[in-house]
Amino acid sequence: MKIFITGASGFIGGSIAAHLVRAGHQVRGLIRKPEHSAELQRLGIEPVIGTLDDRELLIAEAKAADAVINAASSDHEGAVKALIDGLAGSGKPFLHTSGSSIVGDASGGEAGEARIYHEDALPEPTADKAARVAIDQLVLDAAQQNIRSAVLCNTLIYGHGAVPGSASVQLPRLVRQAQKSGVVRHVGSGGNIWSNVHIDDVAELYRLALEKTPAGTFYFVESGEASFRDMSAAIARVMKLGEQDWPLEEAQKVWGYEMASYGLGSNSRVRGERARKLLGWQPKRSSVIDWIEHDMM
């Protein structure tokens, strides 16, 4: 299969692209910086230089490919519309990457209600997340244009990426902050809980979805959960540092509103049943704490 993927030099996109190459697919990957070309070529990925604002390029790549994966941004409406326009009427798969902060409660690092969400009972989005949810719906509605579209809504992803220098969003921020300050900090008491999944299991799910997903399907991608207090404690043990509660207002000064309030300071507990039932997905890793203690450093 000829696959076009955006975000090919990133943690998620690069790992998916490399996994697909190993599975025998031909992969073209969108990257912004030409200096990343050699690394992609080493992984067997053909680089395409451009940005998500290059509408005509995205349309052309979508038309030429057998399948398209958007792994560059969950929030770029223009790119999603361009890819849909390029795929309209083709019956080809289109996988869009979203994130489970869409159900985050911005609890300030506290356990709060810590409600668990399921794929068939999503809440109305908060004002902060309405735009992302609208893009997810745009992708799902593309099924009406004879596109085999799906939204893969990832939880906290851990593991090492295929592209050197790429990193996941959440845990590396805790590590970098600890390296700078000498103490591992979590937002509030760290009682907030996130579902999580290993990057290798994510990549395999994308492969399965390309082959099998029904059109217009939404997936939560998860294989376990942990509180930030437990994850930061595991990081502290590995780094041989102390740990510390951090008021939300202070965390926002370092990590910004979005990351501190949602990425690191909310509860995001979900259950992903469809990938297992519809696609036969069987994740191999289920403990982020075990990964932190044995594989992170």
Task: Calculate what percentage of the chain has a pLDDT beyond 70.
Answer: 100
Q: Please give the CATH architecture assigned to the domain spanning 2-104+117-156+198-221.
A: 3-Layer(aba) Sandwich (3.40)
Q: Residue ranges per domain, the chain?
A: 2-104+117-156+198-221
Task: Calculate what percentage of the chain has a pLDDT beyond 90.
Answer: 99
Task: Confirm whether pTM is higher than 0.95.
Answer: yes
Question: Which H or E run contains 70?
Answer: strand 67-70
Q: What is the pLDDT of residue 26?
A: 98
Give the mean model confidence (pLDDT) for residues 188-194: 98
Q: What is the pLDDT of residue 236?
A: 98
**DSSP states of 146-208:** T-EEEEEEE-EEES--SSTT---SSHHHHHHHHHHHSEEEEEBTS--EEEEEEHHHHHHHHHH
Q: For the stretch 14-40, what's the b/e string if a residue is b when 16 or more beta carbons lie within 10 angstroms of its beta carbon?
A: bbbbbbbbeeebebbbbbeeeebbebb
Q: What is the pLDDT of residue 114?
A: 87
Residue 242 region, left (φ>0) first, then alpha (ψ -120 to 50), else beta? beta
For the cut 90, the answer to whether the pLDDT of residue 232 exceeds it is yes
In tens, the pLDDT along 140-151 reads: 999 999 999 999
In tens, the pLDDT along 253-284 reads: 999 999 999 999 999 999 999 999 999 999 99
**Contact residues for 1 (Cβ-Cβ < 8 A; gap 6+):** 25, 26, 66, 67, 210
